[in-house]
Structure 1
Amino acid sequence: MHVETVGDGTPELAVVACLHGNELCGKTAIERVLAENPDFHRPVRFVVANEEAIVNNVRSIDEDLNRAFPGDQEGETHESRLAAELLPLVRDCSLLDLHSTRSHPEPFALVAQLNDRTEQLARATGVSRVVDVSYIAGGLIDHVDGVAVECGLRGTKRAGENAERVLRNFLGEMDAVDTLSDASDPELYRIFDVVEGTGYDFVGENFVRVEVGEPFARKNGEERRAERAFYPVLMSTNGYEEILGFQAERVGKL
């Protein structure tokens, strides 16, 4: 794990990248921002988390780091021990956690606990959509006041550019650096169910409403149809090993 703290004093903000070793957009964004040596008005801690997974170009070594928190210093897996080392570094900070996905090209934010602080953080990212993921608890943002951002399609140049834009906007809105920024007024979605199953081709579009009876996935010529209207979130043909993705409802403005 690589940790770099900039600015004077105890960090109040933290930025984490590469909880998953094959999602490099956050690492790219951090490197680009820090290479400019900006003048930080507030201390910020930057963490590139799963370096061993990065070296091996894999999502994880033993288990999903973003499901390993709070971790165990004596744990049997690399990620369990890493989670126990990482969490104390960011527990008292307002957190931005940068990811990429196989489901959607444009950035959107995830929050696990809605409160005034996390709503401020979500708006500071500048994204147009925020998803309440408390239904699928288990990530780093369950343990801190933070927001995760899916910055775009994994491995693409666009995801790196999106991550850099999100990071700069976040730092500007949180008064960490002087930069042009603009808080957003995002739409809020709330996950209410998991779509189980493997081997499906997703035929819908994330954040586009699927009506009752409408097909959204196919497998061996058979269609899977919506039993309840929903908005697909993090749905893709090959994004997960055991599920297709998630069903959400649109709540309205954050």
Structure 2
Amino acid sequence: MNTLESLHVQSVSFSSLKSGGRLIVLGAVHGNENCGTLAIRRVIAEIESGQLGLVSGSVTFVPVTNPLAYARHQRMGDRNLNRNLAPIDTPIEFEDHIANWLCPLLAQHDALLDLHSFHTAGEPFVMLGPEDNHGTLEPFARSVEETALALRLGVSRFVDGWLDTYAAGVARRLAAGVSTGEADVHYGVGTTEYMRAQGGIALTLECGQHDDPAAPAVAYRAIRNTMAQLGLTAEARPAPVSNTEAVRLYQVVDRVHAGDRFVRDWASFDRVHAGEVIGAYHDGTQVAADRDGYVVFPNPGALPGQEWFYLGTSSARA
């Protein structure tokens, strides 16, 4: 059995003799998402063999961020590492110990690329942070830099509105008397939100479906493009993608019962029209879109009380 004592964490760092940006790249924050792990190990091998060199700054790679989940080939060990991420004074769950190691490491860098994959079929996409703001939820002042980097990862679809939408979901859960972890606004804070709170820029790249053989190549290209864009390597800075599609999340719908069902197999970014039925609760109540838009992150395996799917609308962000 895998335990805290039988597992280890690994980070691999390379530094140029010339000062510059400090990038960190994460793989397998969720243990069943290995495209980032494969891509990271490919880039490490290229640097170690001399095929790729750093001309300024530094880069840190974490091939497997959650070794317990990775060993079990499942999304999480004791809990979701990419929710409610912060140092913890009295760690209990395995991911608490990882957070106490990972958070200080993130704070040593000024840019994060977090590599993921998703449940259902669909094209790769980038999760953007908020636009510049002085609000209390996620104040930010580097959206121009972050968006410029996102446009150069090699994918054309962009999603934002995550934490705002999650906070609205928390408010709804609290009003309904839900007292689980997902009724805490801090439960929406993952690696990228934590990184931005430390003053950095941060992007989550969803590289494709979990078992898509093309996903590791998407992750690899993004790593190389990010290093070039930040001036860490001598490669030419990549051109921004064109023909972009941007989606802003605006609502999260929870699964409330194991008997809740989708009316069909949805893929992320499937278009829906106002009034179109997306699913039904166990009591027969239909769940329909309130406007034209998209179904995002549908999860037919969501547990009751967890996010079932999101709704998004077109955005001019990217």
Q: Could you tell me the TM-score, scaled by structure 2's length? A: 0.72
Cα separation, 2, equivalents of 1:74 and 1:23:
28
Which range moves more in the overlay, 90-99 or 161-170? 161-170
Match of 1:200 in 2: 261
Does residue 129 of structure 1 match 2:157? yes
Q: In structure 2, which of residues 178, 186, 189 is the aligned counterpart of residue 138 of structure 1? A: 189
CA apart distance, 1:21: 1.2
Does residue 232 of structure 1 match 2:295? yes
Q: Which has the higher strand share?
A: 1
Q: In structure 1, which of residues 95, 98, 105 is the aligned counterpart of residue 115 of structure 2? A: 98
CA apart distance, 1:85: 1.2
Q: In structure 2, which of residues 23, 37, 48 is the aligned counterpart of residue 13 of structure 1? A: 23
Contact 1:207/1:231 (CA < 8 Å) preserved in 2?
A: yes
Cα separation, 1, equivalents of 2:76 and 2:190:
14
Amino acid corresponding to residue 168 of structure 1 in structure 2: R
Matched residue pairs, number? 253
Cα separation, 1, equivalents of 2:30 and 2:103:
15
Amino acid corresponding to residue 83 of structure 1 in structure 2: A
Cα separation, 1, equivalents of 2:97 and 2:24:
20
Distance 1:71 1:103, change over 3 A: farther
Matches within 5 A, 1:22-171: 22-37=32-47, 38-41=52-55, 42-47=57-62, 48-91=64-107, 92-114=109-131, 115-132=143-160, 133-134=162-163, 135-136=165-166, 137-144=188-195, 145-171=201-227
Matches within 5 A, 1:175-254: 175-179=231-235, 181-185=238-242, 186-197=244-255, 198=258, 199-201=260-262, 202-217=264-279, 224-238=287-301, 240-241=302-303, 242-254=306-318
Q: CA RMSD in A?
A: 2.3
CA apart distance, 1:222: 7.7
Contact 1:12/1:44 (CA < 8 Å) preserved in 2?
A: yes
Match of 1:172 in 2: 228
Cα separation, 1, equivalents of 2:21 and 2:315:
34
Which range moves more in the overlay, 156-165 or 29-38? 156-165
Cα separation, 2, equivalents of 1:187 and 1:34:
32
Distance 1:21 1:227, change over 3 A: same
Which range moves more in the overlay, 21-30 or 159-168? 159-168
Which range moves more in the overlay, 21-30 or 104-113? 104-113
Unaligned runs of 5+ in 1: none
Residues 156-180 of structure 1: CA deviation (Å, up to 9, x unaligned): 3222222122222222222222446
Which range moves more in the overlay, 43-52 or 25-34? 43-52
Identity %: 28
Unaligned runs of 5+ in 2: 1-8, 132-142, 167-187, 196-200
Amino acid corresponding to residue 252 of structure 1 in structure 2: A
- Which of these two proteins has the greater Rg computed from alpha carbons? 2
Q: Could you tell me the TM-score, scaled by structure 1's length? A: 0.89
